């Protein structure tokens, strides 16, 4: 096959490209430039957007012995991922830009262009496993290395996208990938893992949003109130700086009467109010979600002992029952309650290790009224 390997400059995508080449595929490496002004995105070894990362990817391609190019996806990335990220926070939701990037950039813009250019598949360094099911459809399963499993951020991929994807690392534990990189002479072998959001340079989400949102921010401050009593406990400088379930950074000064920590329970962007309360008020028993994406056939109901939902990257699995209404509305009953769930986050549905699909959370039902 002619394979396009997306190379971030990190160790995983480098080994993935090397494995694809060793498997006999005709591999071409590409690095996605996601910013026109690379210095503005995070520097060092953690993102996917710096000159250093592009050079690391190029050197890895040299070592593997494959052609290498840089594709400029900066406009698409800004429009589809960064703008969406800002809009979602402005609306009081908590988006996951990595899923969005996979859905709109890596396995859409890049895959479409690759197919048009005559490639058969796109290979990435994601940790997830693909296999062909009994019905002939491509199934995506969790990675063998549970600690590195990235099937959650790939839950937005549909059958067409999966059929043209390769995840060569899915069966391998991360430490073995580093050892293999070393053996292959890939200089990125000891590069640290990437974390956080690649376009937020210093990891300071709230600071980044404050600077970038400007007039688009729904508010530039407001009250932090006790959800039970309505008492104003403090002030904040923008609801976009908060996420449901957040405990740190509330700077309330006054402790709760019972001395227990307070958590963000609700964000009201229009009023500019952040409601806080005790942890048990975060417990969620059901979810509403929209914009479902299914990896294979569209289900009507998902139920059974192996059916679970995962609600954040590297989050826990919760046993669940999932109903799909009118094709685009999803209701999730959490048989095991979840905590601190924010609208905007992705709910990814599993049947055992198999990813069934995903949807974007729009509302939650709290256990305690």
Residues that bind another protein (CB under 8 A): 28, 31, 33, 36, 38, 50-51, 54-55, 58, 67, 69-74, 76, 109, 112-113, 116-118
Number of Cα atoms under 13 Å in the Cβ half of residue 113: 15
Residue 67 vs 255, nearer CB to another protein:
67
Q: Is residue 98 annotated as a catalytic residue, yes or no?
A: no
State the minimum distance, in angstroms, from the CB of residue 38 to another protein. Answer: 5
Residue 55 vs 297, nearer CB to another protein:
55
State the minimum distance, in angstroms, from the CB of residue 15 to another protein. Answer: 21
Catalytic residue among 48, 49, 98, 198: 198
Residue 117 vs 137, nearer CB to another protein:
117
Quickly list H helices, the chain.
11-22, 51-64, 74-77, 83-90, 97-101, 110-116, 159-163, 174-183, 205-213
3-state secondary structure of 39: helix
State the minimum distance, in angstroms, from the CB of residue 1 to another protein. Answer: 15
State the minimum distance, in angstroms, from the CB of residue 34 to another protein. Answer: 10
Residue 118 vs 136, nearer CB to another protein:
118
Neighbours of 257 (CB within 10 A): 8
State the minimum distance, in angstroms, from the CB of residue 33 to another protein. Answer: 4
Paired residues of 359 in beta bridges: 347
Paired residues of 222 in beta bridges: 236
State the minimum distance, in angstroms, from the CB of residue 23 to another protein. Answer: 19
Catalytic residue among 49, 98, 101, 295: 101
Neighbours of 101 (CB within 10 A): 29
Residue 113 vs 174, nearer CB to another protein:
113
Supply φ then ψ for residue 212, to 5 degrees. -85, -35
What are the residues whose beta carbons fall under 8 Å from the beta carbon of 283, sequence distance 6 or more? 337, 338, 339, 366, 367, 368
Residue 54 vs 99, nearer CB to another protein:
54
Cα radius of gyration rounded to whole Å, the chain: 21
- Residue 14 token pair: 């480098």
Rounded Cα distance, 38 and 226, in Å: 42
Decide the pairing of beta strands 26-33 and 2-6: parallel
Indicate which residues carry an active-site annotation.
101, 198
């Amino acid at each position: 096959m002619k394979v396009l390997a997306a190379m971030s400059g990190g160790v995983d995508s480098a080994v993935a490209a090397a494995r694809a080449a060793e498997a006999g595929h005709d591999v071409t490496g590409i690095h996605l430039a996601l910013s026109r002004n690379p210095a503005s995105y995070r520097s060092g070894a953690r993102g996917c957007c710096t000159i250093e990362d592009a050079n690391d990817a190029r050197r890895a391609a040299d070592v593997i012995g494959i052609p290498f190019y840089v594709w400029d996806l900066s406009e698409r990335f800004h429009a589809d991922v960064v703008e969406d990220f800002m809009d979602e926070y402005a609306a009081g939701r908590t988006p996951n830009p990595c899923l969005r990037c996979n859905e709109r950039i890596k396995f859409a813009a890049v895959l479409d262009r690759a197919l048009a250019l005559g490639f058969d598949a796109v290979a990435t360094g994601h940790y997830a496993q693909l296999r062909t099911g009994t019905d002939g459809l491509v199934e995506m399963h969790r990675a063998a290395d549970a600690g590195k499993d990235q099937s959650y951020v790939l839950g937005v991929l549909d059958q067409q996208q999966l059929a043209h994807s390769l995840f060569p690392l899915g069966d391998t534990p991360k430490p073995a990938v580093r050892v293999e990189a070393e053996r292959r002479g890939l200089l990125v072998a000891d590069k640290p893992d990437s974390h956080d959001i690649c376009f937020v340079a210093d990891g300071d989400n709230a600071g980044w949003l404050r600077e970038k949102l400007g007039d688009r921010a729904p508010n530039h401050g407001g009250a932090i109130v006790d959800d039970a009593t309505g008492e104003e406990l403090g002030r904040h400088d923008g609801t976009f700086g908060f996420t449901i379930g957040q405990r740190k950074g509330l700077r309330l000064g006054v402790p709760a009467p019972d001395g227990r920590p307070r958590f963000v329970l609700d964000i009201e962007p229009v009023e500019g109010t952040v409601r806080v309360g005790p942890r048990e008020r975060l417990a969620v028993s059901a979810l509403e979600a929209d914009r479902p994406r299914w990896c294979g056939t569209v289900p009507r109901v998902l139920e059974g002992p192996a059916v679970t939902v995962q609600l954040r990257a590297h989050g826990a699995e919760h046993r669940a029952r999932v109903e799909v209404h009118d094709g685009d509305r999803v209701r999730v009953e959490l048989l095991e309650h979840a905590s601190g769930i924010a609208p905007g986050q992705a709910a990814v549905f599993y049947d055992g290790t198999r990813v069934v699909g995903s949807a974007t959370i729009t509302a939650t039902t709290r256990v305690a009224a």
